Amino acid sequence: MDNLQTQGISLPQLGLGTFRMQGDACRAAVESALGLGYRHIDTAEMYGNEEAIGAAIADAKIARKDLHVTTKVWHENLAPDAIRKAFDASLNKLRLDHVDLYLVHWPSRNMKLPAVFETLMKLKEEGRTRAIGVANFTTALLKTVVEDIKAPIACNQIEYHAMLDQTAVRKYLAAKSIPLVAYCPLAQGRFATDETLAKIGSKHDATAAQVALKWLLDQDGVAAIPKASRAESQKANLDALKVRLDDDDRKAIAALRKDMRCVNPGFAPAWD
C-alpha cells in the first residue's frame, strides 16, 4: 500500500473509518482490520469509540512506529484550554503516548483560528501529536490557516467521492502539497447499485465500490478512509488497490453526477 508523505509523517493511503462504530463491535472491527494489514485508523472524540479502538490497538501489539492513528477535536472544544482537555482525554482513551495526526473536526463560527493553531502547534512541539491538520475546511478557511497563520497542516479531511465534485479544494491542496483525506469515499453504500460503476467493475472483475475507491486512490495526494465493520468489506477495500482503471473508465466516472452529498455541512454551526 502506498503512503503519502506530509509534514514529517507517512500516511497510509487507505485507512479504516470508524464513524458510528461503537463498543465491542468497533473493537472487533479494528482488530479485524489490523489483522488484515490496515495500518491507518481514523477516529474522533465525537465518535465515542476511542476507548474501543485503544483496546483493539493494545491487543494487536503492532509496533507503534508501524501504525498511524488520527483523532479529532470537536467544534465545541476549540478554545485553547478545551483543546488540551479534549486531547488529553482522547490520548488516555486510545492508550497511546502520542497520536500521529490531530485534526480540527469542524470549523466553528466563534473559533479564534490563531489561538486554535497555536495550541495545536504546541501539542506538536511537545511530541504528543506528530502532525496537525483540519477537516471540513473550505478553501477560504484553508487560505487563512496556511497563508496567514502559516500552520503546518498535514491534510484536509473532507467528503469526497466519485459523485461529489471537490475540484476547488483539491486544486488548492495540491498547489500547497497538502493531502486530501476522503471520508464517505463509497457514498455510504450508494455506489453498489450504480450502473456505470457496476459496468466498469464487471470489466475488471471488481465491484462498483472497488471501482469508486480505486478511482480516488489513483489521484495524486488523495487518501481514503472507508468505514467497514465486516472483515469481508475491509478485505474488499484492500483488494480495490489491485484494480487497474483505464482512460475509458475514468471518462465514464467523470460523466457521473457530481452533486451528491452524504454529510450535510449545514449541521455544523460554523458552516456558511
Residue 11 and residue 182 in contact, taking contact as beta carbons nearer than 8 Å:
no
Residue 151: partners with Cβ closer than 8 Å, 6 or more residues away: 117, 120, 121, 132, 145
Amino acid at 109: R
Element (H, E) at 188: none
Helix spans in 61-183 (H): 80-94, 113-125, 139-143, 167-175
Tell me if residue 47 is catalytic: yes
Let me know how many helices (H) and strands (E) the chain has, helices first: 10, 10
Residue 227 and residue 43: Cα distance in Å, rounded? 11
Q: How far apart are CA 123 and CA 102, in angstroms?
A: 9
Nearest to 272 by CA among 167, 151, 158, 140: 140
Going by C-alpha positions, the residue among 40, 234, 263 that lies closest to residue 161 is 263
Which residue type occupies 250? Answer: R
Q: Which of 38, 47, 102, 172 is catalytic?
A: 47
Give me the active site residues, please. Answer: 47
